[in-house]
Amino acid sequence: MAALRAVVVGGGLGAPTVMAGLRAHTDDITGLIAVTDSGRSTGTVRTAVGMPAPGDIRSALSVLAEGDPDLRRLFGHRFETETSDELDGMAFGNLFLAALTQQEGSFLKAVQVASRLLGLRGRVLPVTLCDTQLCARLADGSVVEGEVQVRGLGKAAIRELYFRDPGVSATEGTVEVLRAAELIVIGPGSLYTTLCACLLVPEIARAIATSNAPVVYLANTTQQPGQTDGLSLADHVRVIQELLGGGGLDVVLVNSDPAPERLRAHYAAQGLHELTLGTTERTQIAALGVECVEAPLIDRWSGPRDLWQKQDTIRHDPERTAQALIRLLPAAARPRLRVLA
């Protein structure tokens, strides 16, 4: 049986989680990754070099890497220093990709060279090569620019998302990968600053909407302060479906395994309230032309993480998530479990 051609669209920690799980089922995995992050480490590199954001690309490369373990560990290393604000917290992989971008004259070539050096099994592609910023128009009429500001706390609700620069186009090869896909997974991840940041690229959204492959939105486990305060699961699905042109999304895959009380309480105290699927939600999602499928998806066994300038949440378990995704495929198309060496 030929390897399942799977494409994961997103970034942050969500897309790498899905890719990590799917590695047990197929070698043909492509991550189409957002590149509009403007956080401290990534933002510093972007300002210095003038390139798309490397941070989420770095994370995706690390997950699919099977080369030298020392290089893989070095790729994720963050500097710790009290004498340089710019270097403190900087991920070495971001500097590595920046150096390759200057050396090769292209961010895409930099990702390709890094993929070869890291011994990737699979492929990682930025959704665009444009060095643009994510912007949002808020409910009070104000406008914010930059991913950090778009996800900032204490502002009015997001009403419209757009790129600062006109004519943002898809990276060469991304549309072809989507057209050939047998499974397309969107998420999980920050609704506006990760998932929408990918779907705002017109060619990406069009290729997904017109794909013959099952298109699955892997729903977030919680609301996210600064982005999705007060939004329901149906609201999340509606935002995704609208960016796909009103159609194209087939399934929303929702966690059915309630998180342990200790985790729910920990995240609720930070404003991250668990997203649940009730009768009203099902009806609203069905009205959008999307099927709801529930499965146990979360990682029940790991505690909260201390992330670098990012907000933690109840995370998906790679193996459980991959198994649920494979079960969505027609029986004849499901790959046999591959035994990893």
pLDDT for 151-183, tens place per residue? 999 999 999 999 999 999 999 999 999 999 999
Q: Which amino acid is at 300?
A: R
Domains and CATH numbers, the chain: 1-34+168-327 (3.40.50.10680), 35-126 (no CATH)
User: Averaged over 312-320, what is the pLDDT?
Assistant: 88
Compute the CA torsion angle 169, 173, 177, 179 (nearest 10 deg). Answer: 60
pLDDT of residue 335: 76
147 vs 338, higher pLDDT: 147
Q: How far apart (Å, rounded) are the C-alpha atoms in residues 13 and 246?
A: 27
Q: Is the peptide bond before 188 cis (omega within 30 degrees of 0)?
A: yes
Confidence of residue 339 (pLDDT cuts 50, 70, 90): very low
Is the per-residue pLDDT at 150 higher than 80?
yes
pLDDT in tens, 216-225: 999 999 999 9
Is the per-residue pLDDT at 250 higher than 90?
yes
User: Averaged over 317-333, what is the pLDDT?
Assistant: 91
pLDDT in tens, 91-143: 999 999 999 999 999 999 999 999 999 999 999 999 999 999 999 999 999 99
pLDDT of residue 13: 86
pLDDT in tens, 178-204: 999 999 999 999 999 999 999 999 999
Q: How far apart (Å, rounded) are the C-alpha atoms in residues 196 and 331?
A: 31
Phi-psi region at 257: left, alpha or beta (left = phi > 0; alpha = psi -120 to 50) = beta
DSSP three-state, residue 102:
helix
- CB of 185 closer than 8 Å to CB of 325: yes
pLDDT of residue 88: 87
Q: How far apart (Å, rounded) are the C-alpha atoms in residues 273 and 275?
A: 6
**Mean pLDDT, the chain, integer:** 92
Q: What percent of the chain is predicted at pLDDT more than 70? A: 95
Q: Which amino acid is at 221?
A: T
189 vs 330, higher pLDDT: 189
Give the single-character DSSP code of 333: G
The pTM score is 0.93
Q: How far apart (Å, rounded) are the C-alpha atoms in residues 94 and 151?
A: 21
Confidence of residue 305 (pLDDT cuts 50, 70, 90): low
Structure tokens belonging to residue 305: 């993480």
Is the per-residue pLDDT at 338 higher than 50?
no
pLDDT of residue 303: 64
Structure tokens belonging to residue 16: 């790498």
Q: Which residues pair with 225 in a beta bridge?
A: none
Confidence of residue 304 (pLDDT cuts 50, 70, 90): low
Is the per-residue pLDDT at 68 higher than 50?
yes
